[in-house]
Structure formats: C-alpha cells, structure tokens
A and B are shown apart, each in its own frame.
Chain A
Amino acid sequence: NAGVTQTPKFRILKIGQSMTLQCAQDMNHNYMYWYRQDPGMGLKLIYYSVGAGITDKGEVPNGYNVSRSTTEDFPLRLELAAPSQTSVYFCASSLFRETDTQYFGPGTRLTVL
C-alpha cells in the first residue's frame, strides 16, 4: 500500500515548456486534489476531482489543466510554463469528501527558469 505517489520529485523547466505532474493513489479514494505551496505561504488549491470524469477548479487554476480518467490517477498538466509556476506541488486524496482526512504525496519541486 503505497498511499499517494507523485512523480517526478524535482524538475527544472524552461519558460514556455510543458510538462505533466503525475499523481496516483492506491486507496480507492474518490476525492483527489492538487495544491501548490509557495515559499512562506500555505497550500493553495489548484484543481480537485470528486470522482473519475469529474474535475473542478480550485483557488488558483490558471495555467493548469487536469484530467481524471481513472479513480487512481490525477495528472496535472502545465502548459507554457512561467516563472510564477515555480513552486512545490502536492497531490492529495480523501475517501468521500473534503472533510475527510486528506492523504498527501511527498510533493514535486518545480523550478521554471
């Protein structure tokens, strides 16, 4: 039982490049989330999903896209990377709703130069 896994752990992108941050969970959780954490700041919700095929915007969705084709996977796509997207990205999941305990992955540290 691996919980929530994220790949890659680190990545450096050039301005304008694209990439996909991978997130997978093996707990059969319905809800999945993507957050970003900037230095000295709390976590900001980017997108979330309440089940396969259903996604919704969070607080800071601009510049990102998500999909949820399976219960297990919730990839986050960055198109046209910008320096403002330099951050640590966390994926999380919870069983039934957002008030359930969220289980977080270890994070992906992304730098855009």
Chain B
Amino acid sequence: DQQVKQNSPSLSVQEGRISILNCDYTNSMFDYFLWYKKYPAEGPTFLISISSIKDKNEDGRFTVFLNKSAKHLSLHIVPSQPGDSAVYFCAALDMRFGAGTRLTVKP
C-alpha cells in the first residue's frame, strides 16, 4: 500500500534548465510534506517542506508546489546544477516516503 508515490525513477536535465520532480499521495489526511535529498553512501538530508495551508514554498533555487485537490506535489529546481545530482525523496507526515527519483544534471 504505497500512500506516497514517485512514479518517475529517474530524470535527466541539462545544467541551467529546470528540474521538476513529482510526487502523488493517496491519503487526504496528509497535511505536511517534506523533500529529502540523498547522495550515494550518505543518509538523506532535508531539503524543503510544505504545509497544506500553503500551495507554494520557496527556498533559493528550490520551490515546492502543493495541489491538494489533485493530491500532487512537485519540486522545482531552477537553475539545475551538477551538484544537484542525487536521489530525491518525497515524504508525508506519518513518515511515509516515496521510492525516490534519481536526478542527473548534465554539464
């Protein structure tokens, strides 16, 4: 029972372009979401979060959008940099994580 889904296992973008990572959830009770970034052989690190009272949260190059009616959130990275190459996990309250999307940013 996957309540948090990241349907794209991988994404490749050119340096300087926008990266858009998507996440869907099934439980309408979820009201807080987090994005974590993970490099190989390291633990995940927190990136950005959003509460359901907002539909957008921005932190530098990273913006998360929440569409409650569609039960969908997305992480936008603009501009993308090679150092952003990592696996990105979406997580909901109740500590449920998506399967992750591997982002590769090509120079």
A19 to B71, CA, bound (A): 41
**A37-45, A63-71, A77-85: which lies at the B interface?**
A37-45
Which chain A residue lies CB-closest to B43? A104
Q: Please count how many residues in chain A sit with their CB below 8 Å of the partner chain's CB atoms.
A: 23
Residue from A48, A92, A98 within 8 A of B93 (CB atoms): A98
Tally of chain B residues near chain A (CB < 8 A): 23
Q: Is the CB–CB distance between A42 and B100 below 8 Å?
A: yes
Known A99-B32, A106-B41: A42·B46 in contact at CB below 8 Å: no
Residue numbers in A under 8 Å from B100 (CB-CB): 42
Contact of A101 among B6, B46, B95, B96 (CB under 8 A): B46
Interface string of B67-88 (1 = CB under 8 A from A): 0000000000000000000000
Residues on B close to A: CB < 8 A?
Answer: 4, 6, 9, 32, 34, 36, 41-46, 49, 89, 91, 93-100
